[in-house]
């Protein structure tokens, strides 16, 4: 069970209030009629499916009903930050990789048994920023 910080309600709520909506930051082609079949197919169907850091769209379906973004690890399931629509993530695979080299960030491992339970502090601190 995820405990998700909604950046609009500014509260942690249970996963059942939310729905995941797939990859975030996908831009609709500005002129769909001018798209090649390749570009249109890529837009419709091809998604990043990383084993690691994933930026994804969620909706607070039975709360404020607003869409927002989550940066989450797809193996440990740890929620690293939540941020509003239109904002950019502060944590990315690249930023984590460079921080990890300096040894000052502990990346969540795959051994967590309770999904999301130990991530409150992380998402809280990040949630307060956005």
Interface ranges with other proteins (CB under 8 A)? 1-2, 15-16, 19-20, 22, 37-38, 40-42, 44-51, 54, 56, 72, 74-77, 110, 115
User: Which CB, 117 or 128, lies closer to other proteins?
Assistant: 117
In this complex, which beta carbon is closest to other proteins, that of residue 74 or of residue 90? 74
How far is CA 130 from each of CA 8, 12, 127, rounded to the nearest angstrom? 10, 14, 6
**DSSP3 helix / strand / coil % (the chain, rounded to 5):** 30, 25, 45
Residue whose CB is less far from other proteins, 51 or 101: 51
How near is the Cβ of 128 to other proteins at its closest, in Å?
23
Nearer to other proteins, 36 or 88 (CB): 36
Rounded CA gap, 58 and 41, in Å? 23
Task: Single out the residue of 87, 81, 76, 68 nearest to residue 121, CA to CA.
Answer: 81
Give min distance, CB of 46 to other proteins, in A: 5
Closest contact distance (angstroms) between CB of 104 and other proteins is 25
**Tokens representing 93?**
């695979």
């Amino acid at each position: 069970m995820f405990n998700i910080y909604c950046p609009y309600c500014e509260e942690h709520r249970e996963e059942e209030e939310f729905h995941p909506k797939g990859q975030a930051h996908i831009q609709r082609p500005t002129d769909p009629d001018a798209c090649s079949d390749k570009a249109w197919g890529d837009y419709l169907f091809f998604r990043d499916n990383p084993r690691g850091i994933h930026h994804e769209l969620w909706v607070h379906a039975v709360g404020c009903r607003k869409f927002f973004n989550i940066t989450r690890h797809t193996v440990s399931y740890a929620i690293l930050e939540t941020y509003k629509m239109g904002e950019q993530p502060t944590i990315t695979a690249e930023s984590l990789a460079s921080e990890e080299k300096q040894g000052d960030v502990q990346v969540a491992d795959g051994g967590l048994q309770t999904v999301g339970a130990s991530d409150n502090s992380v998402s809280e601190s990040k949630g307060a920023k956005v």
